[in-house]
Structure 1
């Protein structure tokens, strides 16, 4: 419209949001059962102060006088908002205009990808750009530096269209380092991803994942599992032909991953196992992930990478930051085998080797090549050590 000034219009305050929602539900319904007023507050909260959602969902519930209907609506809005008919019919198509107005498919893919994180998650800009690179969204650049610059430009573009917003994180007084998605925009992103056959599954408070559940992932492209109690019990190999991305984050119980899981997902390109502080080892079957481009083991207790990691010749990003172990042992020959590696980040690591100066030199040359172009986040030379057997 040629506006000379731009300013942020915040969502409605909590009291005003509830008042708007109640107006659209109507007093007859609110007074029809003693439980409904409290349930209405929960439904209104799921609309996250967005007037469009408050009006639409309020009108949809205007004839619902049975508490069970309200509980069902709450469960749907919390877990699968796109299954709520009015969301897909009125709310998402209206919000979609901002998505459709993005200048190219790269921006659209990057926006949809942000919904792989849980609700209200503060997303690190650096982590997000690394993941976009791993996902091949930024492949049209000659080097990692240019891809990172493009990633920063995309984040700013999504913020300018209000599809992302800056996020204040504890101990950080500015917004440049983190972003987050509005809950309703995140729901819309899941709806759009499903529409484009690029489905994203996000599960919080995850418990035991069994073979039967993984068997239902056959059409899922990206899976994100968050929770203290995440574990796997996979007794039989399960085929997931579309699966490209797995996040397993924040488990206190996870000590290893079953090899059968990796044998089931040859299409995997991103594996994020960060912040599993009791994860101690990787199965040798990780070598079967020959398409893997991004591997994050930061904040885990893994102290010995299996030699089979050398099979991951497509790997571009390997992250071993803030490891719980005193040392991370990398078998000699692994780094030099990772011919596509462009970003390596670690606090301290060791090479386990026999006395083989030729291989030592090859490893050093590979690491120096990476650091020479400024692609790592920590210096290599002060912490490089060899463990001679």
Structure 2
């Protein structure tokens, strides 16, 4: 066989299709009579294709057992044979998603290129920024929990595949879509336009475009013309090329701005005019300075600065009263936190807190951040005044923190340390899974 000769993959045997389908419906559990009764006909609809088996299994899992025969007879058996057989099954799975909001979330994902590894938290934060995660007024459920539930449903439906991306540290849970599933997502979204350097910038349904991704094309003039034509309709913009302040200011209805990997070194001051912005992503960008006007974005929920060149946070960040996720870490113990971070009472993600000497930068700022979750690193603990001071952080009440790093300075003057008392006052909630302690100078850990 020649190296460049295509090898035709055969169809899976029926018993392999049955294994995939059965695993999807019941996991390792016992096969119910309702599934056994339709086994032969369901296997036939898989047509030896693993994706079809997985998607049909996911569809049945989301439905009640008494509906299975009806789905088979009224929907699956009516599918036409032919090359688009799998696409018909995928469309059927999409049609049976339990809410229009989940369908919107799925269709939105076509803004990512095929084969993309889409990070879980980023995806939920984007959906949240677009307003797809609607909470019930009577319910205590957070938008992030609704997003997690939508992801579970899309996984069960085999429209998403979960993978662990170890290219970053720490490793992250990500999602991918099969190429055919991505095609389905594209066909379900009439409001998304993705432009790369191989495309022209003509948009035929410009008045309907809500979500736009631009991967360097043409000159700045072409790009500005395109953005101008979409300025009132655009809600999401992914762009990794220079964006002028004048152009940015025109995008008045923007909810989501993703400038990750951009070569722009300065974020335009005019960003403060985009009062509807809920999501700003500057990950791995060349941007080094954040303008004070950013702090006028009172609807901002997510600010991602991971691996960017930002060395300081704006002084007025305490005014971002809707901020839920601040993705930012800088390994500099001399870094000063902005004053009064404790006013950000919606905050869930805070990667580190450097304790300072002056009021507004002391450990008590953490006390009012009741919703913190995930991992938190607290540094400069030598500046905390004893057990009572440490207790003001109220770590024992933060049930959603699973990882905690406590760090004292490695070089200190004198030998009158209060590390044992401080550690005693920093007792975490019993839900904590991981505790790391650096440069602790006490003789023993607290008891009880």
* Root-mean-square deviation over aligned CA pairs: 4.1
Q: 1:225 aligns with which of 239, 246, 257?
A: 239
User: Which of residues 46, 49, 63 is equivalent to 1:9?
Assistant: 49
TM-score (normalizing by structure 1): 0.62
1:204 corresponding residue in structure 2: 215
Counterpart secondary structure, 1:231: coil
Match of 1:43 in 2: none
Tell me which residue corresponds to 1:299. 307
Residue 290 of structure 2 aligns to a residue whose secondary structure is coil
Show the counterpart of 1:332.
Answer: 339
- Measured in 2, the distance between the counterparts of 1:154 and 1:116 equals 18
CA-CA distance at 1:214 after TM superposition: 3.7
The residue that corresponds to 2:229 in the other structure is 216
Q: Name 1:58's counterpart in structure 2.
A: none
CA distance in 1: counterparts of 2:251 and 2:49, whole angstroms: 43
Question: Which has a greater percent of helix?
Answer: 1
Which of 162, 165, 173 matches 2:161? 165
Structure 1: gaps spanning 5 or more residues: 13-49, 55-90, 385-389
**Residue 379 of structure 1 corresponds to which residue in structure 2?**
404
1:327/1:368 CA distance change after superposition, 3 Å: farther
Indicate how the Cα distance of structure 1 residues 149 and 167 shifts in structure 2: closer, same or farther if over 3 A, else same: same
2:265 counterpart of 1:270: no
Instruction: With the length of structure 2 as denominator, give the TM-score of the two structures.
Output: 0.54
Aligned to 1:155: 151
Matched, 1:309 2:324: no
Query: Is contact 1:116-1:222 (8 Å) kept?
Result: no
Deviation at 1:292, TM superposition (A): 0.8
- Kindly indicate whether residue 239 of structure 2 is the aligned counterpart of residue 244 of structure 1: no
Number of equivalences: 294
1:116-155 mapped onto 2 (5 Å cutoff): 116-136=111-131, 137=133, 139-140=135-136, 142=140, 144=142, 147-155=143-151
Taking structure 1 as reference, are residues 202 and 273 closer, same or farther at Cα in structure 2, changes over 3 Å only? same
- Alignment of 1:52 with 2:57, yes or no, is no
> What displacement does 1:378 show?
4.8
Cα pair 1:224 1:247 within 8 Å, conserved: yes
Distance 2:342 2:318 in 1: 8
Judge conservation of contact 1:211–1:235 (CA < 8 Å) in 2.
Answer: no
Q: 1:185 to 1:326 in 2, by over 3 A?
A: farther
Identify if the C-alpha distance between structure 1 residues 225 and 237 changes in structure 2 by more than 3 Å, giving closer, same or farther: closer
> 1:209-232: CA deviations, max 9, x gaps?
675554333211111124xxx222
Aligned partner of 1:38 in structure 2 is none
1:345 aligns with 2:350: yes
* Alpha-carbon distance in 2 for matches of 1:369, 1:167: 27
Q: Which has the larger radius of gyration?
A: 2
